[in-house]
Structure 1
């Protein structure tokens, strides 16, 4: 059977190798290595902090947070789960994994929320960003581990960068979705009250979109958790390293213990962030806040001429 490949072979892999090895790495590796400095600083600070704090204190803080935002049952599960992790000897690795996850989520948030807001305000930008997010979500993570190692080296920080790339799309997508779904009549009312773009964003759009943004943050958190095992292949530590070490040695017990630790940590963080998003603000409360902000804005606008006349 005839196929186009019989007439023309495209050396796509050679083009990629020439681009990465011949141009990108020689010219930009120092820049990329410098860009990982803030990630390293945040990661090391969190890792040192979580490994310094006593296990009982950390368990108490997380169980109280679970009680407040996820209920009594989740608080009991947190206590039992954290005690179990400590008793199987994986508490330091769990705290390193927690530091990696929080570092990844922190940088995903400071990148993803502004990009999502900008994309919500520009259809052209969203058309550009959307296929990039599709690529980031669908391309196998092992594919971009190679250029990450070539550009950033191996270690904890490159593992965090790989996790950020993998976990970033949900928070951008859901921030964009939440801002775009704000009711049009409320946006028109804000315009009528004379609000600026910044006032409309902070007093109207973000409060109403907050639950959707928190859902994106939750999904980013869960994707970061799922990436820690793969990130261990390029030098990241924590529970992912325990799983990969067990896999390499055919140590079923060790790999299972690391996997159970990841599951417990994932359940605790997922339920806490879900409860935080649900209890932070309901739509009704947000609407009341928006209306009060608009009325306050109108009052300040009306008071300006009086102050000037005085």
Structure 2
């Protein structure tokens, strides 16, 4: 490893996704204007959600250093035959920033509550980075609700060789903490995030300047870096929760484990075979960790083919 269904009528009356942000936060690749955006109360917090398309539901969960905006190219492809649901995770993007609840078991319940609010039962699930961890917690607790599960390029706390993965010096930020961490990065969010966008990319230039500026602005919003650090600080609890969930048995739904060739690569499938019975391995050539930024077309094709196989 080098680098690492449907809303109620009232809920559907919302602003098109292409117009909800200020001009300073315009999406790099906009969601189609047919998508609606709403802040949905769930599990004691509120998630910022984009929703569009028609057909079986698919939920897309982002990771650290990005927001749900990362999924626009995939959402554009899937919307022709899916209802596409794209939240920002608790504390990140334009979702609310509660004081606690950043363990992934709680965030999995955020997703369950969101789907209940949208009157959606079963879903396909596509996740990346921290989204893998939230998605795994949701899938383990609600196995009958997830039809197919795609995980991209990040480990799961407590699963497989987690303890060995933690020893990789490139993952120093997993343990970055203490009373001064927020003060150290205040006003320097772009500097902090650039390190990940650069070091976890096969070709850093593919993570565009426009995308960097966009996400740096979102992570500089009040409380956003605090919430981001809280995602990592919860890992010890996540290990306990994930191992308890696996004590009930591995996941049975089909799983696609995707790694960037210059990041997790085939290790992603090795990790998931410790947690699921039906795992397909996929490696995206010439990509690091940021699959949707570095190789969007190849990544979209992998996801599309895997979801289509379940029809």
Question: Same fold by TM (over 0.5)?
Answer: no
TM-score interval, smaller chain: under 0.3
Task: Return the TM-score normalized by structure 2.
Answer: 0.23
Larger radius of gyration: 1
Higher helix share: 1
Higher strand share: 2
